Amino acid sequence: MKKIPLIMDVDTGTDDAIAIICALMSVDILDIKAFTTVAGNVGVDLTSRNTLNLVRALGFDIPVAVGARKPLKKALHTAISHGSTGLGDVHLPRSENLFYPKDAVDTIYQYASSLNGELELLAVGPLTNVAEAILRHPDLIKLIKRITIMGGTLRGGNMTQTSEFNCYVDPDASKIVFESGIPLVMIGLDVTLKPQLPLFVYEQVKACENKFARIATQIFDFMLRRNEQYGFDPPNLHDAIALASILLPNLITFKNYHIEIETEGTITRGMTVADFNHVLGEEPNVQAAVDIDCDMFWEWLINKFRDADQSSAR
């Protein structure tokens, strides 16, 4: 089977790290060209360092390119639930490798240009890098096969009553991406809040004896303790679900909507406003996730770590 050429655009906090781990366990299916980093959960220096350390700790030399330090127009708003470094109390060995010499924008363009329209982007942080790539290289619009984002929501938010965190952080970038015409898949809170890490999944991953599971277990430990201690931000694997949606065609149920982004509202900044009743008469621009098979997701996740056990035993 032909591999999917992919760039992952990340703001590496805890759930981003789980998505990266799962992606690196899926290199039989994914041809990961690069990881690009953006400010979001924490500042870009930390998201970049977290990404490089994690990828190298797992034994991969995939390029890590540093991206935007702040949103296009707004001041940067970071999260609080990922700890001061983005990875809670998880400490990875510091890699001595260098970041990729090109920035995130030119890295995306480089690979998109070389792949004849086959490159896919998985963006699980604020969309600043993707929007800047479109602005800097307008022909990129015809060079990207599909963008899958973890972001947005059809109903209800986790940053404001109506807004999801990634779209809230850089609504102006989200607007550019949503209006770009590039095929867009939105894996939003409507599905990512449904599966919360069950203890039986945690225990089965913990029982695996491989480098992927060892790091993932440390991150899960922090996520579970964080929820117990603070009473918020339960262990949802938002970004891993977005990754899984690419690898498991039947995991997610979708509906197509025309969606616009509110960039300024006090309560609605970053709101992904779906035209449910076709008021505008516009064609859909987003394939939006509306439901998920939670059992399928957990089975997939467990099997990823078990398969890694078998591979390491060979």
Catalytic machinery residues: 238
The single residue listed with the structure tokens 């600043």 is: 128
Q: Is 119 helix (H, G, I), strand (E, B) or coil?
A: strand
Could you give the dihedral angle defined by the CA atoms of residues 94, 68, 149 and 212, in that order, rounded to the nearest 10 degrees?
0
Closest CA to 17 of 71, 92, 68: 92
Query: Cβ(254)–Cβ(287) under 8 Å?
Result: yes
Helix (H, G, I), strand (E, B) or coil at 182: coil
**Of the candidates 29, 25, 62, the residue with the CA atom closest to the CA atom of residue 247:** 29
Cα distance between residue 148 and residue 87, in whole Å = 23
Distances (CA, A) of 77 to 53, 83, 185: 24, 14, 24
